[in-house]
Amino acid sequence: MLDIIENYPYLCYEDDKLQIQQKEIEAIVENKASPFFLFLLQRFQENVLEIKSKLGKHIPDLFISYAAKANYLGRILQESHKLDLGIEAMSLFELKLAEKAGVPFNKIVLNGPAKTFDELSYAITNKISHLNVESLNEIKQVEKIAENQELVQKITVRIHPKLKDTTERKLLIKKNSKLGIDYYRGIKLFEYAKKSPHLDPIGVHTHVGTNLTSHEFYDELLGFLNEYVTDLEDKLAISLSEINLGGGLASRSTLEKEGFQLEKLGEQVSTKMDDIENKKIIFEPGRYLIEDSFVAITKVLRTKKSWGRKWAFIDVGANTLIPMRYSHYSVVPTIFKGKGHYTNIGGPLCLPVDILSDEAVNFEIEEGDLLVVLNCGAYTISMSEQFGYPRPAIYQLTKKGLTELIKPADDMNQMINDSFYLS
User: What span, in angstroms and rounded, lies between the C-alpha atoms of 373 and 391?
Assistant: 16
For the segment 57-104, what is each residue's pLDDT rounded down to a tens digit? Answer: 999 999 999 999 999 999 999 999 999 999 999 999 999 999 999 999
Domain 3-40+291-419: give its CATH code. 2.40.37.10
Tell me, what's the pLDDT at 259? 95
Mean pLDDT of 230-238: 95
Query: What one-letter code names the amino acid at 97?
Result: L
Burial zone of 325 (CB within 10 Å; 0-12 exposed, 13-18 middle, 19+ buried): exposed
By the 10 Å C-beta count (0-12 exposed, 13-18 middle, 19+ buried), 210 is classed as: buried
Q: Give Rg (Cα) of the chain.
A: 23
**How many CB atoms sit inside 10 A of residue 226's CB?**
18
Strands 181-182 and 153-160: parallel
CA separation for the pair 311, 344 (Å, rounded): 5
CA distance 173 to 180: 9
Query: Who wins on pLDDT, 16 or 174?
Result: 16
> What's residue 349's pLDDT?
96
What's the rounded Cα separation, in Å, for the pair 228 and 35?
50
Confidence of residue 296 (pLDDT cuts 50, 70, 90): very high
Q: What average pLDDT does the structure give for the chain? A: 94
| Nearest-5° Cα angle at 5, 283 to 7 | 30
pLDDT grade for 357, boundaries at 50, 70 and 90: confident
User: What does the buried/exposed string (b/e) look like for 153-169 if buried means 16 or more CB atoms within 10 Å of the residue's CB?
Assistant: bbbbbbbbbbbeeebbe
- Give residue 174's pLDDT: 65
Alpha carbons 145 and 120: distance in angstroms, whole number: 8
The pLDDT value given to residue 383 = 94
pTM tops 0.85, yes or no: yes
pLDDT for the residue numbered 327:
86
Residue 397 has pLDDT above 60, yes or no: yes
Q: What is the pLDDT of residue 423?
A: 66
Q: Please provide the DSSP assignment of 197-236 as one string.
A: TTEEEEEEE----SSB--HHHHHHHHHHHHHHHHHHHHHH
Give burial (CB, 10 Å; 0-12/13-18/19+) of 417. exposed
Cα–Cα distance, 362 to 353 (Å, whole number) = 21
pLDDT at 389 over 70: yes
How many CB atoms sit inside 10 A of residue 351's CB?
15
Structure confidence at residue 1 (pLDDT): 57
The pLDDT of residue 208 is 84
Length of the chain in terms of residues written: 423
pLDDT band with cut points at 50, 70 and 90 for residue 147: very high
Kindly report the CATH class assigned to 42-288: alpha beta
pLDDT at 385: 92
Does the pLDDT at position 225 exceed 80? Answer: yes
Domain boundaries, the chain: 3-40+291-419, 42-288
Question: Where is pLDDT greater, at 16 or 421?
Answer: 16
Cα 307 vs. chain centroid, distance in angstroms?
Answer: 38
Task: Give pLDDT tens digits for 307-337.
Answer: 999 999 999 999 999 988 788 899 999 999 9
CA distance 346 to 353: 9
